[in-house]
Amino acid sequence: MMLKIILNKENIARFIFLAAAYVAVACVILICVFLFTQGVPPIAKIGLGDFLFGEKWKPSQNLYGILPMTLASIYTTVGAIVIGAPIGILTATFLSYFCPQWLYKVLKPMVNLMAGIPSIVYGFFGMAVLVPFVSYTFGGNGKALLTASILLGVMILPTIISVSESAIRSAQKSYYEGAVALGASHEISVFKVILPAAKSGIISSVILGIGRAIGETMAVVMVAGNQAIIPTDITRGARTLTSNIVIEMAEATDLHRAALIGTAVVLFVLVLIINLLFSVIKTRRKHV
Amino acid sequence: MSKSVILRSLVYLATGLTFFSLIGIVLYVLIGGIPYLSPELFSWNYNSENVSLMPSLVNTFLTVILSLVISVPIGILAAVFLIEYADLGVAAKSKIVRCFVSVIRIAADTLAGIPSIVYGLFGMLIFVTFFHWGYSLLAGGLTMAIMTLPVIQRTTEEALISVPMNYREGAFALGAGKLRTVTHVVLPTAIPGILSGVILAIGRVVGETAALIFTAGTVAQIPTSVFDSSRTLSVHMYNLSVEGLHTHEAMATGVVLLIVVVIINWLSELVANKIRPVK
């Protein structure tokens, strides 16, 4: 009898733990159900081709093509990676192989602080400092694709730095020692031996950075100009998928509102693909 | 110039750029905002005269509490299941269990990667529209709870993994059951790690804007019930800066936000230093 009661308690606990673990699964299912049931019908109504590849977004004329926004999202993300990835990876290299201990104690918390700064603060800084800077240097009014790329490049730095740093640190130190023993200089050993060894970790840091950049909303809205036209020049304005939702959602109704939810579906699918890439690389790393 | 010198200077240049931009942002906000930190900004009620940030500060606090009350217990329990029952349990080698566990992990990873604007739309569709709660503290809090769940779950998993195996063996040897081992031995040891996850989640909620505009709304008053709209500090700063009328106050709000973030970081540093001896 006594034994049975104890057994029950264990089982109830096990069930509660199991149920809690499935909350995440339930949330993903709920998100999919709500987004897809409300986002897919309008896409079907507009026509998948017209929606995905339509070049004009003019809700007043019932034109809902999101190609300009998709391209803008891809361009700003590529720009952010071009700017952020080399700087981030090199900074991670500095932190793990060039940095004296006392300096590391100062810089590491600074990287964490950088990750913690709210995107709205980045956006404000971009609006007040970067926009005039880009306008002055490259012409135009400064609210441009380039400005958004620079700002996103800075914003993804902490992600790239911390993930790359742990990848570089987990590369076998004996590789480095071997290279130095063979007469290579400190720099050559780090760049030719350690960085290649940490390659997959560095790549996953970049993919995480891509995910951050493509999903960022508020900071981009504040600096990108937000014209819903196909971006042709990096010094001209552009509107990303995320900005499109945030700008128009407040006053949208009917098909317009539904088309914005459709935009979120496209964004969601893009992010799922990026996540999939990330987990493929992660599992491949485990096998090595 | 030798190759080594070029590489070394590249590394220095990149590091310089990184910290130059960070220091630039922090200094810009501090220098621009501190002169405008007037007492009116902290008056209890918001109006268009004083643009007080106090209600938003209180709302931020309320949103953090509400979301963590939900996500922390669920996240911890889920992590306990994944590590103590699934990975270290008796059935760990069975294929079905492995499959279920990987589904849960994939779900948590997916949640972690979803952009905040998508959370915002989802929260709007389900809490604001479907449940008819309107823009409310509750809708915002629940959306934030889902958003912070993967953060809590992952960091707790890490914390549980780092609890030495012989602690568990010791508890079992003394006759404790699985549940007692978890609640009395494993979880207390993992507390610093779990705390650092909680602090990370607080930072996420404090910094969130996009998801909260569509769920908690933008009314700058302290709510009287969970069904009232409540503007958080980040949303407050966004509203002030897009309206363009109160740029100085927006900067001052930025200073307060930065201070909150620095405190959060300092706390997590403090906690992280406590973890190390356990490892």
In a domain, residue A135? The reply is yes
The CA distance from A199 to the nearest CA of chain B, in Å, is: 17
Interface touch A18/B81, C-beta < 8 Å: yes
Rounded mean pLDDT of A102-109? Answer: 92
pLDDT in tens, A189-243: 999 999 999 988 899 899 999 999 999 999 999 999 888 888 888 888 899 999 9
Q: Is it the case that residue B278 has pLDDT exceeding 50?
A: no
Name chain A contacts of B111, Cβ cutoff 8 Å: 24, 27-28
To test the contact with chain B by mutation, choose from A5, A95, A96, A218 the residue with the greatest count of B C-beta atoms within 10 A, namely A218
Residue B70 half-sphere exposure, CB side, CA atoms within 13 Å? 20
Q: What's A209's domain CATH number?
A: 1.10.3720.10
Domains of chain B plus CATH, in order, are: 37-275 (1.10.3720.10)
Tally of CB atoms within 10 A around B40? 14
> Any idea what DSSP says for residue B52?
-
A109, A119, A191 member nearest B269 (Cβ): A109
pLDDT digits (tens, 9 = 90+) for A135-154: 999 888 889 999 999 999 99
Residue in B113, B150, B179 closest to A271 by CB: B113
For residue A286, count CB atoms less than 10 angstroms from its CB and return exposed for 0-12, middle for 13-18, buried for 19 or more: exposed
Nearest C-alpha in A relative to B208: A118
Could you tell me the pLDDT band of residue A86, with boundaries at 50, 70 and 90? very high
Task: Check whether B244 has a pLDDT greater than 90.
Answer: no
- Listed range (B41-45, B83-87, B217-221) with the worst mean pLDDT: B41-45
Taking the C-alpha atoms of residue B72 and residue B269, their distance in angstroms, rounded to an integer, is: 20
The pLDDT value given to residue B70: 95
Q: Which of B12, B75, B107 lies closest to A28 in CB terms?
A: B107
Answer yes or no: is pLDDT of A265 > 70: yes
Examine residue A3 and state whether it is found in any structural domain, yes or no.
no
Q: Lowest mean pLDDT: which of A120-124, A150-154, B39-43?
A: B39-43
Phi first, then psi, for residue A82 (nearest 5°) are: -60, -40
Tell me how far apart the alpha carbons of residues A143 and A135 are, in angstroms, rounded to a whole number.
8
Asked if A24 and B234 come within 8 Å (Cβ–Cβ), the reply is: no
Calculate mean pLDDT across residues A78-84.
96
pLDDT, tens only, B195-213: 888 988 999 999 999 999 9
Q: Are B234 and B165 in contact (CB under 8 A)?
A: no
- Residues of chain B found within 8 Å of residue A114, distances taken between Cβ atoms: 18, 22
Residues of chain B contacting A37 with CB distance shorter than 8 Å: none
Size of interface A-B (CB pairs under 8 A): 243
Q: What's the confidence (pLDDT) of residue B279?
A: 41
Say how far apart CA A104 and CA A287 lie, in whole Å: 32
Question: What value does the mean pLDDT of chain A take?
Answer: 89
**B77 with A34: Cβ contact below 8 A:** no
Instruction: Give the model's pLDDT for residue B46.
Output: 81
Reported as type and span, the H/E element at residue A57 is strand A57-58
A81-90, B45-54, B88-97, B173-182, range with greatest mean pLDDT: A81-90
User: Phi then psi for A64, rounded to 5 degrees?
Assistant: -125, 70
**A1 belongs to a structural domain:** no
Say if the Cβ atoms of A20 and B74 lie within 8 Å. yes
State whether A261 and B121 contact (CB < 8 Å): yes
The mean pLDDT of A116-132, rounded to a whole number, is 92
Q: What is the pLDDT of residue B221?
A: 84
Q: Chain centroid to CA A168: how far?
A: 21
Residue A161 burial class via C-beta count within 10 angstroms: exposed 0-12, middle 13-18, buried 19 and up:
buried
A35: in domain: no
Q: Report the mean per-residue pLDDT for chain B.
A: 88
pLDDT for the residue numbered A55: 87
Interchain CB distance below 8 Å, A23 and B14 = no
Alpha-helical runs (H) found in B114-246: 116-123, 137-161, 165-173, 178-181, 187-207, 210-213, 233-243
- Model confidence over B120-162: pLDDT tens digits? 999 999 999 899 998 999 999 999 999 999 999 999 998 999 8
Taking a C-beta distance cutoff of 8 angstroms, is the pair B112, A208 a contact? no
- Establish if A8 belongs to a structural domain: no
| Cα angle value A36/A40/A44 (rounded, 5°) | 165
pLDDT-above-70 percentage for chain B = 96
- What pLDDT sits at residue B88? 78
A21 lies in a domain?
Answer: no
Q: Whole domain around residue A61: which residue ranges?
A: 53-287
Q: What is the pLDDT of residue B8?
A: 93
- Does residue A44 lie within any of the structural domains? no
Is the Cβ pair A121, B29 closer than 8 Å? yes
* pLDDT the model gives residue B41: 79
Residue B231, amino acid: R
Q: In this predicted structure, what is the pLDDT of residue A171?
A: 87
Would A104 be classed as within a structural domain? Answer: yes
pLDDT cut 90: percent of chain A above it: 59
pLDDT above 70 (res A288): no
ipTM > 0.90, yes or no: no
Residue of B2, B3, B11, B262 to mutate, testing the A interface (most A Cβ within 10 Å of its Cβ): B11
Query: Tokens standing for A103?
Result: 């300096």
If you average pLDDT over residues A100-119, what whole number do you get?
92
Q: How big is the CA angle at A230 (ends A228 and A231), to the nearest 5 degrees? A: 100
Per-residue pLDDT, B223:
86
Q: How many domains does chain A have?
A: 1
Asked if A65 and A51 count as a contact pair (C-beta separation under 8 A), the reply is yes
